[in-house]
């Protein structure tokens, strides 16, 4: 469901908001790092920035798009014991706007030296705060854009909100070799929701380095909707009677422990970070079983997401936003409020990011950790004695919300007591809107195109999809894992199936990358399981974890469309690759204005072996949003996601020992 994407200045107004909130960070990052996977502290970020600026290896005017932990090799992390020394490095991306050059490299923080700096030719870093701060003024000062506004009767240009959208890459010759964004216009005036009043048909193509509008595309005047659609209590009008108070009380405190960036709850042990690009990252996820913490996942995170729109008109075919790779979704995390965004028993934590000058900024209250009721965990009544045995489930939630322009996303990692780990993606916010002819005198809309639905007078919302790809680096009971595919099929009626009722599940290993690009199949209840063939449970079965899929879609843009070419991860629901620390993002590292074919489609051409290897599972799921009036002016939360469930990892129900 969607809300349309985007993006822009609103997006980076979120970053400005952080700057205003700058202050001390709470638990999440400190200078006293104790583990190789701890995020960089503000002191470490500043040290890396200082070393780089003083090294002479970067242009003097270079700005930092990111400075993050350069994660150490997996073997070093596993070998680490508390109190030991470990490597501490920062990875950076810097941009020289004057010469349109991108650099990346590594800083050794313990050795206080710059390890490497290299230019990465032909790429653009994702949206930077510098871009956002100057974008609106560039567009508003342009004579072509002003003329287009006057054609629509708009002369107070300061009351127009110009949204930054990514430029994509459509092969237009005049756009090659430039740092571009596209500007969409909305008549904001005094309202709080500018998306109710789209100024349809106007696209400004902006060269950010030249600080000028290259061209303005005007596909014709459509009346600007007159009605506002603010969603604050005053604007909504008469409110219903409030339900009686519901309180969540933990008189003895929370059941989880936060030790720096490590979290312990029930039998779960894991680490977390708020990465500026990926958002929430989970590390070294394990479950305690008979006194031993058994590894399940080494690293899990959102690898990429993209939102393609299905309207082919001049102002819409270019809207294919990669929220992670083009905008760094983690940096768009916003402060959360207890009792609304999260329950009032939540613990709210801060994060630290690098700013573009090479120092730090604090993001306050952007990670929430809380327990919630999980319903019935298990139950059985002995009907002979009427004796009831049942247990109430508890869940632990680690949560963030990000604001991507008009759209809002929540991401919850949910830990269950029975060993299940769930990812919930929450889609809400305001849909991307399109101006259409208003209602006629008889209250009917004029005929409009088939690429969206009317949601208000003069306002339509185009069809679109949201595609998420999650990178799941499994280490089930160790690093030598195999992915097997499960298919369940009806057996033919015959001698061994005389009544025709038989069906059987078969597992087939995915042996190489070429055969590990898989689609869901409803007819065979297709699922995928990561197993460790060398470790057996008490029944002699290989231990494993199952990817239990939820809502999903096939990509609807054509196979040759620009977005399908750049977001090739959409083409399969499942990909499996051997672990490679350089393969982190499903559409490639530099996605902004990227060309076709990077990321997963490129890597799997190696056709590497997968059996009994350190494997990475990449799961793509899509939400197809056909807008409805009930999604306007703000969309009710739509929930999608998946579960990772133990299958043979335990010998019996691991939640049997939950006390009553």
pLDDT tens across 452-493, in order?
999 999 999 999 999 999 999 999 999 999 999 999 999 999
Percentage above 90 pLDDT, the chain:
92
Q: What is the pTM of this model?
A: 0.94
User: Hey, is 400 helix, strand or coil?
Assistant: strand
pLDDT tens across 316-344, in order?
999 999 999 999 999 999 999 999 999 99
Residue 19 has pLDDT above 60, yes or no: no
- Cβ neighbours around 565 below 10 Å, total: 18
- Smallest CA-to-CA distance from 635 within 464, 429, 340 is with 429
pLDDT tens across 341-372, in order?
999 999 999 999 999 999 999 999 999 999 99
Residue 18 has pLDDT above 80, yes or no: no
Across the range 501-516, mean pLDDT stands at: 98
Residue 518 has pLDDT above 80, yes or no: yes
For residue 374, give the H/E element and its range.
Answer: strand 360-382
Q: How far apart are CA 182 and CA 207, in angstroms?
A: 9
pLDDT tens across 33-55, in order?
699 999 999 999 999 999 999 99
Which residues are within 8 A (CB) of 14 and not within 5 positions of it... i.e. 6 or more apart?
331, 332, 333, 334, 402, 403
pLDDT tens across 561-588, in order?
999 999 999 999 999 999 999 999 999 9
Strands of the 212-218 sheet, one edge to the other: 160-166, 180-187, 198-207, 212-218
CB 327 within 8 A of CB 128: no
How many whole angstroms from its chain centre is CA 657?
A: 35
pLDDT, the chain, mean: 94
Q: Of the residues 407, 409, 545, 619, which is catalytic?
A: 407
Q: How far apart are CA 568 and CA 575, in angstroms?
A: 11
pLDDT recorded at residue 96 = 98
pLDDT tens across 263-275, in order?
999 999 999 999 9
Across the range 544-554, mean pLDDT stands at: 98
pLDDT recorded at residue 24 = 32
pLDDT tens across 619-642, in order?
999 999 999 999 999 999 999 999
Token pair 């889609």 is at which residue? 427
CB 562 within 8 A of CB 168: yes
Q: How far apart are CA 6 and CA 26, in angstroms?
A: 30
Q: How many residues does the chain have?
A: 660
Across the range 150-160, mean pLDDT stands at: 97
Which residues are within 8 A (CB) of 392 and not within 5 positions of it... i.e. 6 or more apart?
373, 374, 375, 376, 377
Token pair 């400005």 is at which residue? 16
pLDDT tens across 372-399, in order?
999 999 999 999 999 999 999 999 999 9
* The Cα angle at residue 591 between residues 590 and 592, in degrees rounded to 5: 100
Pairing of strands 517-518, 574-578: antiparallel
| Strand positions, DSSP E, 383-526 | 387-404, 407-416, 421-429, 434-435, 452-456, 459-462, 464-474, 482-490, 503-509, 517-518
Residue 10 has pLDDT above 50, yes or no: no
Residue 13 has pLDDT above 50, yes or no: no
pLDDT recorded at residue 32 = 59
DSSP assignment letter at 282: E
pLDDT recorded at residue 414 = 98
Residue 16 has pLDDT above 80, yes or no: no
User: Hey, is 46 helix, strand or coil?
Assistant: helix
**Residue 360 Cα distances to 40, 349, 446, angstroms:** 10, 17, 53
CB 472 within 8 A of CB 423: no
pLDDT recorded at residue 377 = 97
DSSP 564-598: HHH-GGGG-SEEEEE--TT---TT-S--TT--TT-
Active-site annotation holds for 407: yes
Active-site annotation holds for 323: yes
Side-chain half-sphere CA neighbours of 604 within 13 A? 27
Residue 296 has pLDDT above 70, yes or no: yes
More confident residue, 657 or 439: 657
- Cβ neighbours around 401 below 10 Å, total: 23
User: Hey, is 45 helix, strand or coil?
Assistant: helix
pLDDT band of 9, cuts 50, 70, 90: very low
Residue 11 has pLDDT above 50, yes or no: no
Q: Of the residues 131, 142, 311, 323, which is catalytic?
A: 323
Q: 488: which 2 tokens? A: 């369940």
Sign of CA dihedral 492, 495, 497, 498: positive
The full 3-state SS of 18-34, as one line of letters, equals HHHHCCCCCCCCCCCCC
CB 354 within 8 A of CB 614: no
pLDDT recorded at residue 448 = 76
- In this structure, what are the phi and psi dihedrals at residue 489, rounded to the nearest 5 degrees? -135, 150
pLDDT tens across 69-128, in order?
999 999 999 999 999 999 999 999 999 999 999 999 999 999 999 999 999 999 999 999
DSSP 147-203: HHHHHTT---GGGEEEEEEE------GGGTTS-EEEEEEEE-TT-S-GGGSEEEEEE
pLDDT recorded at residue 444 = 73
């Amino acid at each position: 469901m969607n809300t349309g994407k985007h993006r822009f200045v609103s997006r980076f107004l979120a970053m400005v908001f952080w700057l205003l909130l700058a202050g001390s960070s709470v638990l999440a990052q400190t200078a006293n790092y104790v583990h190789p996977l701890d995020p960089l502290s503000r002191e470490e970020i500043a040290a890396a920035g200082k070393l780089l600026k003083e090294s002479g290896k970067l242009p003097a005017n270079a700005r930092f798009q990111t400075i993050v932990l350069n994660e150490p090799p997996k073997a070093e992390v596993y070998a680490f014991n508390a109190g030991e020394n470990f490597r501490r490095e920062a990875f950076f991306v810097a941009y020289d706007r004057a010469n349109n050059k991108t650099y990346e490299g590594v800083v050794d923080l313990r050795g206080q030296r710059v390890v490497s700096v290299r230019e990465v030719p032909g790429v653009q870093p994702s949206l930077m705060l510098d871009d956002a701060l100057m974008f609106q003024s560039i567009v508003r000062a342009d004579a072509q854009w002003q003329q287009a506004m006057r054609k629509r009767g708009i002369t107070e240009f300061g009351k127009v909100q110009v949204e930054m959208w990514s430029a994509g890459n459509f092969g237009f010759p005049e756009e090659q070799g430039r740092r571009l964004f596209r500007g969409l216009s909305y008549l904001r005036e005094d309202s709080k929701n500018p998306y109710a009043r789209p100024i349809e048909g106007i696209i400004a193509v902006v060269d950010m380095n030249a600080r000028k509008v290259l061209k303005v595309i005007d596909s014709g005047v459509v009346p600007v909707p007159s009605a506002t659609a603010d969603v604050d209590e005053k604007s909504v009008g008469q409110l219903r009677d409030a339900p009686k108070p519901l309180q969540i009380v933990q008189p003895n405190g929370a059941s989880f422990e936060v030790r720096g960036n490590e979290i312990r709850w029930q039998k779960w042990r894991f680490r977390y970070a708020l990465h500026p690009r990926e958002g929430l990252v989970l590390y070294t996820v394990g479950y305690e079983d008979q006194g031993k913490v058994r590894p399940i996942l080494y690293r899990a995170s959102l690898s990429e997401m993209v939102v393609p729109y299905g309207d082919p008109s001049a102002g819409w075919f270019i809207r294919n936003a990669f929220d992670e790779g083009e905008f760094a979704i983690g940096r768009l995390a916003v402060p959360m409020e207890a009792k609304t965004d999260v329950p009032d028993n939540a613990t709210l934590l801060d994060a630290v990011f690098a700013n573009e000058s090479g120092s730090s900024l604090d993001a306050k209250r952007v990670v929430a950790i809380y327990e919630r009721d999980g319903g019935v965990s298990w139950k059985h009544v002995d009907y002979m004695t009427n004796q009831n045995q049942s247990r109430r489930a508890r869940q632990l939630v680690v949560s963030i919300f990000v604001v991507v322009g008009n759209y809002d996303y929540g991401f919850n990692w949910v830990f269950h007591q029975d060993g299940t780990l769930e990812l919930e993606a929450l889609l809400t916010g305001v849909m991307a809107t399109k101006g259409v002819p208003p209602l006629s005198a008889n209250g009917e809309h004029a005929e409009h195109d088939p690429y969206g639905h009317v949601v208000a007078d003069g306002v339509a919302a185009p069809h679109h999809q949201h595609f998420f790809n999650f990178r799941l680096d499994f280490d089930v009971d160790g690093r030598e894992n195999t992915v097997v595919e499960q298919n369940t099929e009806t057996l033919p009626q015959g001698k061994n199936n005389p009544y025709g009722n038989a069906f059987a599940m078969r597992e087939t290993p995915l042996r190489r990358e070429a055969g590990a690009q898989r689609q869901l199949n409803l007819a065979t209840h297709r699922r995928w399981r990561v197993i460790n063939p060398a470790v057996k449970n008490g029944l002699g079965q290989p231990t494993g974890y199952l990817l239990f899929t939820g809502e999903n879609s096939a990509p609807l843009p054509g196979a040759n469309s620009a977005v399908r070419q750049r977001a090739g991860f959409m083409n399969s629901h499942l990909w499996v690759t051997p672990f490679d620390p350089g393969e982190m993002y499903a559409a490639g590292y530099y996605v902004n204005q990227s060309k076709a074919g990077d990321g997963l489609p490129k890597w799997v051409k190696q056709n590497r072996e997968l059996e009994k290897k350190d494997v990475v599972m990449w799961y793509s799921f899509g939400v197809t949003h056909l807008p409805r009036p009930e999604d306007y002016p703000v969309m009710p939360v739509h929930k999608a996601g998946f579960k990772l469930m133990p299958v043979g990892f335990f010998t019996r129900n691991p939640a049997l020992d939950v006390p009553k």
